[in-house]
Amino acid sequence: MSNDVPTITLNDGHEIPQLGFGSYKVDNDTAEKVVGLALQAGYRHIDTAGFYGNEEGVGRAIAASGIPREEIFVTTKLWNDRHGDPDAALAESLEKLGLDYVDLYLIHWPCPAQDLYLKVWDRFIAAREAGLVRSIGVSNFLPEHLDNLLRHSPVPPVVDQLELHPAYQRRDDVAFCRDHEIAVEAWGPLGQGKYPILQDPTVTGIAEAHGVGAGQVIIRWHLQHGRILFPKSSNPERIRANLDVFGFELTDEEMAAVDALDRGLEGRVGRDPNEMEP
Ligand code: NAD
């Protein structure tokens, strides 16, 4: 089934669907069910991680969908306690997913105190050369970590997956990525339900004007800023609604109104990347 989701060309030439489906905090059985629903609804980009403990369920849903492997973009991530043996961790992820390769493999957090992410990156390059992963990238890397990586290696990450939503817009970090042709993926794009963005009167007002939901407004705002995102839901109606965002467009004024909701660090719901350790 085709859908309206545009693709973004990464700095290594591969294409990624700009809108996908997230799978954080769902166990294997739930992942099998909701990823199956997402694929039926038309999503062709699934984000998982070794840490989520649901790669088997995600793999079962992909296998059961009957959709050709090459039509689905699959991302998984290396967890913090596996920086010492990334090859084995990737082999385990592929085994659980039941796949020969993933489209995108990410270092989940830099864990600077372990000081292993540069070594991990060299193994990621080897995995790419071996055909086990198509593209390699990072997550939760601040400019200082990216700068280290770019000085260390001629191969830049294709993406940095960062917490990013209207209350936490981190414009400097995004500008650093843009200047280095690293695409930005927004995690927690709806604020993870922890930050009341979906009840914000600016957002609900825009939603009413377009006859759509507040979640759809935020998703549209990310898309129009050129970011990649994969909101997560276990609710079949929301799974469908979150993909149904190509029939309306936010005006420049509406984009500016959501831009104005930034709360800086106060809006962050996740951890400080410099403090996150295994
Ligand atoms: P999210 O911002 O996607 O929010 C999910 C929450 O919003 C859920 O509780 C869901 O019930 C609710 N929701 C979803 N659609 C809605 C709608 N239309 N209306 C109202 N509520 C709605 O947060 P997330 O799941 O943390 O982030 C998305 C994905 O990003 C994850 O599933 C995961 O794949 C990835 N992620 C990555 C990291 C990382 O460190 N790299 C961290 C967290 C999440």
Domain-located, residue 164 = yes
Per-residue model confidence as pLDDT tens digits over 194-215: 878 999 999 999 999 999 999 9
Out of 52, 105, 117, 195, the active site residue is 52
Domain-located, residue 141 = yes
Is 101 one of the catalytic residues? Answer: no
Per-residue model confidence as pLDDT tens digits over 58-106: 999 999 999 999 999 999 999 999 999 999 999 999 999 999 999 999 9
Per-residue model confidence as pLDDT tens digits over 218-232: 999 999 999 999 999
140 lines ligand 1 (CB under 6 A): yes
Question: Which of 138, 269, 191 has its CA nearest to residue 22?
Answer: 191
The yes-or-no verdict on residue 5 having pLDDT over 90 is yes
Check residue 196 and give its pLDDT.
86
CATH number at residue 164: 3.20.20.100
Q: What is the best residue among 190, 219, 221, 276 to mutate for testing ligand 1's pocket, by most ligand atoms within 8 Å of CB?
A: 190
76 lines ligand 1 (CB under 6 A): no
58 lines ligand 1 (CB under 6 A): no
Per-residue model confidence as pLDDT tens digits over 170-186: 999 999 999 999 999 99
Domain-located, residue 86 = yes
Domain-located, residue 115 = yes
Per-residue model confidence as pLDDT tens digits over 110-158: 999 999 999 999 999 999 999 999 999 999 999 999 999 999 999 999 9
CA dihedral 257, 209, 213, 62 (to 10 degrees): -90
**Under 8 Å between Cβ of 177 and 208:** no
- Going from the Cα of 204 to the center of ligand 1, the distance in angstroms, rounded, reads 19
112 lines ligand 1 (CB under 6 A): no
Domain-located, residue 113 = yes
Domain-located, residue 247 = no
The whole-angstrom separation of Cα 26 and Cα 24 is: 6
Per-residue model confidence as pLDDT tens digits over 250-275: 999 999 999 999 999 999 999 999 99
The yes-or-no verdict on residue 2 having pLDDT over 60 is no
The whole-angstrom separation of Cα 42 and Cα 239 is: 10
Domain-located, residue 94 = yes
The whole-angstrom separation of Cα 58 and Cα 272 is: 28
The whole-angstrom separation of Cα 57 and Cα 34 is: 9
Instruction: Kindly give the residue spans of alpha helices, DSSP state H, lying in the chain.
Output: 28-41, 55-65, 86-97, 117-129, 143-152, 171-179, 201-210, 214-224, 236-241, 252-259
Which residue range(s) make up the domain with 117? Answer: 7-193+226-235
- Going from the Cα of 112 to the center of ligand 1, the distance in angstroms, rounded, reads 26
Domain-located, residue 78 = yes
**Under 8 Å between Cβ of 76 and 45:** no
Check residue 276 and give its pLDDT.
87
- Going from the Cα of 48 to the center of ligand 1, the distance in angstroms, rounded, reads 12
Per-residue model confidence as pLDDT tens digits over 17-54: 999 999 999 999 999 999 999 999 999 999 999 999 99
Check residue 1 and give its pLDDT.
38
At 185, give phi and psi (nearest 5°).
Answer: -105, 130
Give the number of domains in the chain: 1
